[in-house]
Chain A
Amino acid sequence: MNAPDKLADGAAAVWNTGRESRVPYRVYTDEEIYKRELERLFYAGHWCYVGLAAEIPNHGDFKRTFIGERQVIMVRDADGGINVVENRCAHRGVVFCQQNFGNAKDFTCPYHQWNYDLKGNLTGLPFRRGVRVKCEDGSAKVNGGMPADFKLEDNGLAKLKVAVKGGVVFASFDHAVEDLDSYLGEVKPWFERAFGEGRDGRGLKILGYSRQRIPGNWKLMQENIKDPYHPGLLHTWFVTFGLWRADQRSEMVTDRHGRHGAMVGYRNSGGRADVTQGVSSFKEHMKLQDERVLDVVPEAWWNGPTACMQTIFPSLIIQHNVNSVSTRQIIPLGPNAFDFVWTHFGFADEPEEMTRRRLRQANLFGPAGYVSADDGEVVELSQDGFLQREGGNTVCELDGTGTGGAPHNVTETLIRGMYAYYRKVMEL
């Protein structure tokens, strides 16, 4: 690690609670901890989400996005392969690509026209051999030019390691990162259920994007989707319509490191039960005027569960909740904010009616969604509390202080597991 490290007061002083079930508020607000997170979690040792292959179907199609705070470009080359390169010219560092999406034959920096192919190789630059001029005495000479030992191949764009699985594109600045299957570990079957060829190999159909800037620490969103305890309390729609509540059949899955998670649930019929007693968000008499928003049709690939919310540490959430499916990308912006980018999709060969159903159910999700808008709100309010004064820690002790999976959803075990892993990698 070559990051400047100013956590001078030492790990024990930072993680002064001594256990992962109590997360010091400081790890959500401290600039130095955040820098170490970028270096160790986003730029080394981990795979980050960059997009879906279906976003760039044709030769030359590209998408600009972020890994941590670094801009990267995901681009399909003439061989059909997907490359990810850093959006930073090797000459003067210019962030040369200024479009979020487009199609290009190659990339040329506007400043001095250094030119790169779609794999990020430098193919040429003006005046490399100098400029030939005639002198007054009639002789010729060459002005300028690059040194004789300048090699194009040593001056390409930063190229990332890329893995494409089930149409989902991951990349890493760390070429020594373990292979993606091993990285996903025990959540791999759930990933493959959503994307794998084991399902039926159909292509994805992009439905569009939602983007929100949430004034809270990025880890709070990982926690939110590792927290199966809040949906039946915060989100009236979930508890009232039985989409997610404490008495349903559910399963919490994590990998051997505790960094990824899958919250698997089976929708029940809703209505009154012990679990709704005293839950103020339960509305017994709530009825929709137009029930098409919840016109759920089971799909073969679900293979049982009606919801599976996956967290692929550190940057990705995969949403399957009834007929709404999306990826959600976490782009950190300092310790106190992150951008949250939703890509909703369907499947290429599905009937228009099913696509329409997904779009209707998308009213539940995203920055305005019935069961999502309030997640952004409470994340902001947590951050406000962290910033209010120094000291303090979270209490994540529902269902004990251990880590690992659980056969129910009345638990904060996935959050504890993530922080046990985090402490190890962050040396805190």
Chain B
Amino acid sequence: MNAPGKLVAVELRYALEDLYARYVKCLDDAAFDAWPEFFTEDCRYTIRSRENHDRGYPLALLDFESRGMLKDRVFGITQTLYHQPYHQRHVVGPLLVCPGDDGSITVEASYAVFRTKQNELSEVFNVGRYVDVVVEDAGALKFREKRCIYDGALIPNSLIYPI
């Protein structure tokens, strides 16, 4: 944890704000082919319930260990998984930025995802927090880890697109 009062450089904070803004726009625009590019090659991406997280159970809804697995998921959601199409809208809260000693940055932020199906009202779909590790990779900030920890254990039927 960052010591209270220790300031994060303004440029870094802006760069992170920009990263998150671009990340959620990618998902909300359903530009899924661009999604794996936000991650490092050896990334870790999980969507895991708060229940499993708090009780120390490793099971996640999605548990990916490389950018390749993210690309496989994109193929899955665009080519193989039958589902009723829906729009996502992410709202991300303030970033809690904690630079580590090794140059990586831990970022934690609340998120809410709304789902809008065709001919349906918008609904709260998934609410939780990101616990991420961001690193500089070839001159750009990328996620080495992105752990989505959702509060409500129940998924409203299915979860198809990334959070």
Contacts and interface: CB of A to CB of B under 8 A. Distances in A.
A368 B160 contact: yes
Given A368-B158, A376-B157, A363 B62 contact: yes
B68 to A, nearest CB: 3
Contact of B158 (A234, A362, A373): A373
A212 interface: yes
Contacts of A377: 82-84, 157-158
B156 interface: yes
Contacts of A286: 75, 79-80
Interface in A9-31: none
B59 A374 contact: no
B34 to A, nearest CB: 16
Interface in A350-364: 355, 359-360, 362-363
A213 B156 contact: yes
A214 B154 CA distance: 10
Interface stretch (A126-134, A202-210, A312-320, A385-393): A202-210
A207 B68 CA distance: 24
**Dominant secondary structure of chain A at its interface with chain B:** mixed
A148 interface: no
Contact of A101 (B48, B55, B59, B71): B55
A49 interface: no
Given A289-B71, A368-B62, A211 B155 contact: yes
Contact of A212 (B57, B59, B60, B154): B154
Interface centre among B51, B59, B63 (most CB of A within 10 A): B59
B31 to A, nearest CB: 19
A237 B79 CA distance: 11
20 contacts: A206-B57, A207-B57, A208-B51, A209-B153, A212-B154, A213-B156, A235-B80, A236-B79, A237-B76, A288-B72, A289-B72, A290-B66, A292-B65, A355-B58, A366-B61, A368-B62, A370-B81, A374-B83, A376-B157, A377-B158
Given A289-B68, A289-B72, A374-B81, A362 B157 contact: no
Report the 5 A-B pairs with minimum CB-CB distance, sorted nearest first. Answer: A208-B59, A208-B57, A289-B68, A290-B68, A236-B80
A406 to B, nearest CB: 26
Contact of B58 (A208, A213, A339, A376): A208
B158 A359 contact: no
A283 interface: yes
A290 B36 CA distance: 13
B8 interface: no
Interface in A266-296: 281, 283, 286, 288-290, 292-293
A378 interface: yes
Contacts of B105: none
Interface string A230-274: 000011110010000000000000000000000000000000000
Contacts, number: 124
B113 interface: no
Interface in A148-193: none
Contact of A214 (B62, B153, B157): B157
B52 interface: yes
A210 B61 CA distance: 7
B47 interface: yes
Contacts of A373: 81, 83, 158-160
B49 A210 contact: yes
Highest count of chain B CB atoms <10 Å: which of A101, A235, A286, A363:
A363
A215 interface: yes
A54 B58 CA distance: 16
A323 to B, nearest CB: 14
A334 interface: no
B19 interface: no
Nearest to A377: B83
A359 B59 CA distance: 6
B69 interface: yes
B25 to A, nearest CB: 22
